Amino acid sequence: MNLLKTLAVGAALATGVAGAAVAQDKTKVGFIYVGPIGDGGWTYEHNKARLAVEEHYGDAVETVYQESVPEGADAERAITQMALSGADLIFTTSFGFMDATVAVAEKFPDVKFEHATGYKTADNLAVYSARFYEGRAVQGTIAGHLTESNIVGYIASYPIPEVIRGINSAYIHAKKVNPDIQFKIIWAYTWFDPAKEADAAKALIEQGADVILQHTDSTAPQAAAAEAGNVYTFGQASDMIEYAPMPRVSSIIDDWAPYYIERVGAVIDGTWETADTWDGIGPGMVGIGEISDAVPADVKAEALALKDAIASGEYHPFTGPLNKQDGSVWLAEGETADDGTLLGMDFYVEGIEGEIPN
Amino acid sequence: MRFALEKRPAPSRLMLGLTPLFAVIATMLAGGVMFWALGANPVEAIRTIFLDPLFDPTFGAYSRPQLLVKAAPLILIAIGLSLGFKAGIWNIGAEGQYIIGAVVGAAVGLAFYPTESRLIFPAMVIAGALGGWAWAMIPAILKTRLGTNEILVSLMLVYVAENILASVASGVLKNPEGRGFPGSRNFARDYPAASNLELLPGTGMHWGVVAAFIAVIAAYVLMTRHKMGFSIRLTGEAPRAARFAGVNPTRLVVFSLGMAGALAGMAGLFEVTGPAGQISIDFGSGYGFTAIIVAFLGRLHPVGILLAGLLMALTYIGGELAQLMLGMPAAAIQLFQGMLLFFLLAMDVFANYRIRIKTREAA
């Protein structure tokens, strides 16, 4: 059985290598997207970075992509086909592709893989993610100042550490500038579903929220807020500038281009090595979109000062004293959170109402 | 000269066989125009979708068995659905039965973790079938006892099932070593005794493929040789006659919904332990709905369903290759699949009607 398996994998590899040999002069880079490239958010930004790679390396690089790949049984096949087509480097850009990427990486040891927002690495599999929570701190500060109803609505996607970190970071900083703040959280269980996202936004507005934060990728909540009027929103993953100055008052932008250009360059030079990258505002992986004129000048100045403090490393968004939701002490005065805790974050900080679904 | 449609006394057998072919040709033409409008070479695009998964030197060896892997759950579910559809019992909720089958089967397997035994996987298959069966019994009992509409109840239960899935994926079935991320242990990677292993190494073909073929044969025998099959056909074609012939409608509803649920549940179990690998929030990927199309595409006949399932799988995998190799947008591929179904249904007119060319006589 094992011998047969080895033979079969060998045969698969031989085909893969033959495929690669044809396009030896060009480095082929593949991208697996969870949404459509026109989602205006998460996938849109990854695709923008793909185009930046093409522009930067010109004829030395060829890129391919597959969009709207479901995070289930189909993912492994999509990644395998991409590897078979002769890709030298494959970026799988959603958490749900983790195990599929690991499985394909085992079968194609000569192809390099990069998985976004996961934690499983191998010799030919690197992981990368952005410290979005740094942007959430800036967002929370603005939201805390802007709200008049003291109710901030939050459209969350899935109860995973990345999303929970964002909620906590936004809450902590909104609370700092507005002690009466209250967060209402709706779990949409989707990254991209304009209809569901719009419904969630409307439900939150009906419950009195006048600021909507979203951890989903479409612009539907922006449109819902624009329709309701007097509701503030923030662009997510992408700038969503078409909704500025109102309702969109700022945004968190994922800028993957510098990272992708660097990693593709490493493959071209033959210096690529597996890595675990987690960058924030400082290195430019997380950007804060233009803060619009709907935000008072002093609030804008405060938000930008916070952004600079985070970028320089002078301030960490999770700095004690902080308690967990149940009242137990998490971080003592002046203590900052370690990355391990942040990466596995499965609790709310004190003051957030409701429970993380499980 | 003018054309007129004239109803045939009975659908033409020749046309029933030929119309799928016409539909494929019409799809190729209309799809070709669309691909051309998108700036691709239409011949190359059509070749990539229909032929490359089978014959391309780079992909063929991998794609051919993948066709069976992709088609297996569709066929398994569609076979179950066809029994009810033939009798006029409309189970639209196979997606929910598929999800619950996967959840129940996976839960049984995970309860034994990390015990290694040959009995675990068969037990999971049975649990998966029972889970799907039980989920289908809800609309069945409501229909037979209270006269509720099985279309609405089974469909609504899909959304309930999706919420149960999300809940267990981030709750009771969550991988304790998963760093707080939702999703169960990966059967293939973490728990071999409970995984739906590859039967032929390197192909990805698993027990679900075998089960799909068995289901096709069993359904064929049932429909042609068994009294239950006769009752189903009779009820669908002449409900009043069936009543007089002593067909018990309650038994029929319970049987056909139950079979559909059990097969969908098994399909879910094979997927979760095989290609998907784990219970995750996004596990349900619409197979239960696609299978409805497969059932009708196959004209509710077991062999037709087998072929329809393979054709659907071909357009999926070929569509992926067209995206990958030609940079086609995903939406264009979905549109192309939609065209295929549209033309198949539209071509039915030729099976049920004949075209008469009438020349107007001079007065």
pLDDT in tens, B31-54: 999 999 998 899 999 999 999 999
Is B88 within a domain? Answer: yes
Question: Does pLDDT of A23 surpass 50?
Answer: no
Give which of B70, B281, B334 to mutate to test A binding, by max A Cβ within 10 Å. B281
How far does B316 lie from chain A, in Å, by closest CA? 10
Higher pLDDT, A345 or A1: A345
Q: Comparing C-alpha atoms, which of B294, B306, B309, B316 is closest to residue B49?
A: B316
- Of B43-52, B168-177, B350-359, the range with the highest mean pLDDT is B43-52
B14 in any annotated domain: no
The string of pLDDT tens digits covering residues A56-92 is 999 999 999 999 998 878 899 999 999 999 999 999 9
The model's pLDDT over A99-155, given as tens digits with 9 standing for 90+, comes to: 999 999 999 999 999 999 888 999 999 999 999 999 999 999 999 999 999 999 999
Residue A15 pLDDT more than 80?
no
Nearest chain B Cα distance for residue A279, angstroms:
20
Share of chain A above pLDDT 90, in %: 77
Record: contact A86-B58, CB cut-off 8 A: yes
pLDDT band at A24 (very low <50, low <70, confident <90, very high): low
Least confident of A93-97, B102-106, B239-243: B239-243
**pLDDT-above-70 percentage for chain B:** 99
> Within a domain: residue B201?
yes
Calculate how close chain A gets to B67, using CA atoms only, in Å.
Answer: 11
Task: Check residue A12 and give its pLDDT.
Answer: 47
Give residue A20's pLDDT. Answer: 44
Give the model confidence (pLDDT) of B83-120 as tens digits: 999 999 999 999 999 999 999 999 999 999 888 888 99
Token code pair at residue A190: 């989707």
User: Quick one: pLDDT at residue B360?
Assistant: 66
Cα distances from B348 to residues B9, B24, B222, B341, in angstroms, run: 15, 13, 26, 11
Instruction: Please report residues of B whose CB lies closer than 8 A to that of A7.
Output: 201-202
Decide if B324 and A161 are in contact by the 8 Å CB cutoff: no
List the Cα angle A137/A142/A143 in 5-degree steps. 95
The answer to whether residue B128 sits within a structural domain is: yes
Phi, psi at residue A70, to the nearest 5°? -65, 145
Does B350 reside within a domain?
Answer: no
Residue B351 lies in a domain: no
Of B179, B280, B330, the CB nearest to A67: B330
Q: Please report the domains of chain A, with CATH numbers, ordered by start residue.
A: 2-130 (3.40.50.2300), 132-254+287-343 (3.40.50.2300)
pLDDT tens digit sequence for B174-220: 888 887 778 899 998 888 888 888 888 777 789 999 999 999 999 99
Measured between CA atoms, how close is B178 to chain A, in angstroms? 9
CB B38 within 8 Å of CB B49 = no
With pLDDT > 70 as the criterion, what percentage of chain A qualifies? 93
Look over chain B and give the mean of its residue pLDDT values, rounded to a whole number. 90
Q: Between chain A and chain B, how many beta carbons pairs sit less than 8 Å apart?
A: 123
B-chain residues within 8 Å CB-CB of A346? 180
Residues B240-266, buried b or exposed e (16+ Cβ, 10 A)? eebeeeebebeebbbbbbbbbbbbbbb
* Each residue's pLDDT tens digit, A162-217: 899 999 999 999 999 999 999 999 999 888 889 999 999 999 999 999 999 999 98
Q: Is residue B227 part of a domain?
A: yes
In chain A, residues with a C-beta closer than 8 Å to the C-beta of B329 are 36-37, 67
Mean pLDDT of B265-294: 92
Query: Average pLDDT, stretch B160-181?
Result: 88
Return the higher-pLDDT residue of A331 and B181. A331
Rg of chain A over all Cα atoms, to the nearest angstrom: 21
Facing B201 at nearest CB: one of A1, A66, A357: A1
Contact in structure between B65 and B205 (CB atoms under 8 Å)? yes
Of A190-194, A224-228, A252-256, B89-93, the least confident:
A190-194
Query: Is residue B230 one of the residues assigned to a domain?
Result: yes
Q: Which residue carries 């189909």 as its tokens?
A: A74
Summarize the confidence of residues A311-339 as an average pLDDT.
93
CATH number at residue B274: 1.10.3470
Q: What is the mean pLDDT of residues A150-161?
A: 92
User: ipTM score here?
Assistant: 0.88
* A8: contact with B, CB 8 A cutoff: yes
**Residue B161 CA: distances (Å) to CA of B103, B152, B158, B180:** 9, 14, 5, 23
A interface test, pick of B49, B55, B58 with most A CB neighbours within 10 Å: B58
Range of the domain at B200: 39-328
Interface of A with B in 156-185 (CB under 8 A): 158-161
Number of domains in chain B: 1
| Residue A18, strand partner residues | none
Confidence class of residue A2 from pLDDT cuts 50, 70 and 90?
very low
A77 touches chain B (CB under 8 A): yes
Note the pLDDT of residue B331. Answer: 92
Q: Report the pLDDT averaged over residues B153-159.
A: 96
Which segments of chain A does DSSP mark as H helices, in order?
Answer: 2-22, 42-57, 73-84, 98-107, 132-146, 161-177, 194-206, 220-228, 257-269, 297-311, 339-343
- 3-class DSSP assignment, residue B329: coil
